[in-house]
Structure 1
Amino acid sequence: MKDVVLGLVGVGRIGVMHASNIAALNGELNGQGINVELRLTDVAEDHARKVSAGLGAQFLPSVEALIASGVDGLVIATGTGTHPELIRAGVDAGIPVFCEKPVAMNVADSLPVLEHIRAHNGVVQIGHQRRFDAGYLEARRAYQAGELGWIHSLRAVTCDMAPPPVEFLATSGGLFRDCSVHDFDILRWLTGREIVEVYAKGSNNGDPAIGEVGDVDTALALITFDDGTVGTVSATRYNGAGHDVRLEIQGSKRSVMVGLDDKTAMESAEAGIAFPSGEPHKTFAERFDQAYRSEMAAFVELVLGQRENPCTPEDAVAASRVADAAQESLASGVPVRVALVGAKAS
């Protein structure tokens, strides 16, 4: 039996989800001769102790104590502002790191972290869970196998059912950095192409407080790839029908859609059409439940040296660069070349 000890930092909403998945993962991997142990810490000690007790995990009083306890891998599920420091701590300890996206709030803050990882030969997996979703995996396979022909357009949609607290939005970096960065990442990953230009627009028709903290509740970006292919990436905080994440890939031979099933938060306006007929997803955690589980299983394999890194810091920074360009275009009202954002950050 191989023992893998994972140390989790942060037990907020997504941290608790990861903790639960790690606990469930242990049962799944036992049959493969792998025993996964969870240790965790959080500055909210009382809450962290309750979470650890509920999952049979060990609580440690600090990040330093967690790392010193001899964990084999570090899982970072804290606020974005803490990511750089915690990534460095894990890399300096010589252990593989899993960190929720992004590396840092923007490209300028991410590049020094990237340099530190490279200088110390660090192993860091960034959490872009859509890479593990069955629909996106199949769409990528079909595209790379040539079954779709050449792609003439793509349309990515990320719709939250309701906005998160304004306190979160005030420090989120904006709708493109918080939500659409997942679409930018998956489009690069699926097509193997770079996004070279972004032209973004946004609006606020919901809670005025969202605009007061400098964000928008709805936005759309027209993107251009390095081969001239065009696409759109849209997001909203107010999709009352349900949590809706889809990707349309329109090719010269075939067109496919990720996220089109009985839980799609959309209704047909055509007479006699009952599809979709299921209950729509309510949250991102529900929509990507299996993807999150597979993502953490992949990190265990990475810790054991059994696979390549499925989402590198370089991948994450490339997606963040596009998100930065989108935020800049949203503010300026003009198209922004993605390469210039990287050049300015350098």
Structure 2
Amino acid sequence: MQAPVVDRRTQLFGELVIERHGRLTVTLTKVHATAMRIGLVGVGRIGAFHAHTLASLDTVDELVVTDANLAAAGALGSELGVAVADSVTALLGAGIDGLVIAAATPAHAALLSEGVAAGIPTFCEKPVAATLSETLALTALVERSGVPVQIGFQRRFDAGYRRVQAAVRAGELGFVHTIRANTHDQAPPAAAYIATSGGIFRDCSVHDFDVVRFVTGREVATVYATGANQGADFFTAAGDVDTGGALLTLDNGTIVLVSATRYNGAGHDVRLEVLGEKGSLGVGLDRSLALDSAEPGVDFPPGPRHWSFMDRFQPAYRAELAAFVDVARGAAPSPCTVRDALEAFQVAEACEQSRASGRPIALAEIAAA
């Protein structure tokens, strides 16, 4: 006998409330108190890591995984002792309470749409879509639905970034005049990845764009970006650059300097420096700092360096999934919404346009396009 269809939005989350600007939010009037069953799509590097995390959480009672490569899904299912669905359709029909999308980027938009249409709270790795028009359409779809969606910007869950956010919001630094943010990969990914990545600003710097908004609570007003290639030819072939830089001006006048590269041989180097009237704070200035001092007799505390984003942000990845389970059970609102993803994507889009045109781009131009 077919199971009855349940309107999960009513069952788990209560009424929808329209906020100013016409955006939808959720009033959490009912918390899911029974066993939580989470579905995962995609068992590649990040998907497998998410599966291990979900399987280890006390708040998750059952995990169901699937992948376009069913053999890979089966192997992971056997390793973790969890169920395997033979398709996304089967997964969505398996009575799951939350959906985690960790499939390849081109599949994100369709999977997110399916999850929302089924009324299932959904976590989706960035980006939600490959283009701005698709991202705008998905944002509208999600906000109309009222289904909770969390986007995977894991830096929001890193202890250092959260400490800086608290300091900025509490006024400990006075007014913030300058921010420096960098995402420097130790080595480039494969050529096939670069061809579909969307470019260095959409793929790498988008994390910096999001976390600057997260830390400051401000929006980006204008960008001026550039980039260059000194490495592999496949960057040029893809219309991309291996190194990029952007000057952002926030809506309160704060200046943000952003840099990204695929060639940082010293190690994976992700940092944020927030410079204020009364003080300054930095993230990533620890024993794993991928930087040596040229000053005679001076050295940074030695320690093992990070060689990938997985090394650097493992605790943050775990924390964001634990937060999503709370979202899925109705205990908390989404800490990183599809609207947040749209805002960061628009900054990346502006940077790509600035790099191509050689002129500053106002975010108002992107919003009006």
Which residue is equivalent to 1:3?
35
* 1:154-203 Cα shifts (integer Å, max 9, x gaps): 00010000011110110110000000000000001110110011111101
1:17 pairs with 2:42: no
1:290 pairs with 2:315: yes
- Bigger drift between 122-131 and 34-43 goes to 34-43
Which residue is equivalent to 2:263?
238
In the alignment, the residues of structure 2 paired with residue 189 and residue 78 of structure 1 have an alpha-carbon distance, to the nearest angstrom, of: 25
Counterparts of residues 95-110 of structure 1 (less than 5 Å): 95-110=120-135
SS in 2 for 1:234: strand
In the alignment, the residues of structure 2 paired with residue 203 and residue 256 of structure 1 have an alpha-carbon distance, to the nearest angstrom, of: 30
Contact 2:221 2:364 in 1 (8 A): yes
SS in 2 for 1:170: helix
Contact 1:107 1:342 in 2 (8 A): no
217 and 95 in structure 1: CA distance in 2 versus 1, 3 angstrom threshold: same
Counterpart of 1:47 (choices 48, 72, 78) is 72
Which residue is equivalent to 1:225?
250
Which residue is equivalent to 1:115?
140
Q: CA RMSD in A?
A: 1.1
* 1:190-243 Cα shifts (integer Å, max 9, x gaps): 101100111111011111111111111000000001111111111000000000
Contact 2:148 2:333 in 1 (8 A): no
Q: TM-score, normalised by structure 2?
A: 0.90
**One-letter amino acid of the structure 1 residue matched with residue 224 of structure 2:** Y
Counterparts of residues 253-268 of structure 1 (less than 5 Å): 253-268=278-293
SS in 2 for 1:143: helix
**One-letter amino acid of the structure 1 residue matched with residue 38 of structure 2:** L
Contact 2:202 2:348 in 1 (8 A): yes
Aligned length in residues: 337
Which residue is equivalent to 1:69?
94
Percent sequence identity over matched residues?
Answer: 51
In the alignment, the residues of structure 2 paired with residue 37 and residue 166 of structure 1 have an alpha-carbon distance, to the nearest angstrom, of: 37
Which residue is equivalent to 2:217?
192
1:168 pairs with 2:193: yes
Which residue is equivalent to 1:281?
306
Which residue is equivalent to 1:252?
277
Contact 1:201 1:219 in 2 (8 A): yes
Q: TM-score, normalised by structure 1?
A: 0.95
* 1:243-274 Cα shifts (integer Å, max 9, x gaps): 00000100011011101000010111112222
In the alignment, the residues of structure 2 paired with residue 11 and residue 332 of structure 1 have an alpha-carbon distance, to the nearest angstrom, of: 39
Contact 1:154 1:250 in 2 (8 A): yes
Contact 1:4 1:36 in 2 (8 A): yes
Deviation, structure 1 residue 119: 2.2
In the alignment, the residues of structure 2 paired with residue 94 and residue 273 of structure 1 have an alpha-carbon distance, to the nearest angstrom, of: 57
SS in 1 for 2:302: coil
Which residue is equivalent to 2:6?
none
Contact 1:243 1:280 in 2 (8 A): yes
* 1:289-340 Cα shifts (integer Å, max 9, x gaps): 0000000000011111111210000011000000000011111111111121
- Bigger drift between 78-87 and 249-258 goes to 78-87
SS in 1 for 2:196: coil
Deviation, structure 1 residue 45: 1.1
Unaligned 5+ segments in structure 2 are: 1-32
Deviation, structure 1 residue 24: 2.2
In the alignment, the residues of structure 2 paired with residue 94 and residue 130 of structure 1 have an alpha-carbon distance, to the nearest angstrom, of: 27
In the alignment, the residues of structure 2 paired with residue 151 and residue 332 of structure 1 have an alpha-carbon distance, to the nearest angstrom, of: 30
Counterpart of 1:213 (choices 238, 243, 247) is 238
Contact 2:38 2:60 in 1 (8 A): no
Contact 1:204 1:218 in 2 (8 A): yes
In the alignment, the residues of structure 2 paired with residue 326 and residue 162 of structure 1 have an alpha-carbon distance, to the nearest angstrom, of: 22
SS in 2 for 1:23: helix
Unaligned 5+ segments in structure 1 are: none
SS in 1 for 2:136: helix
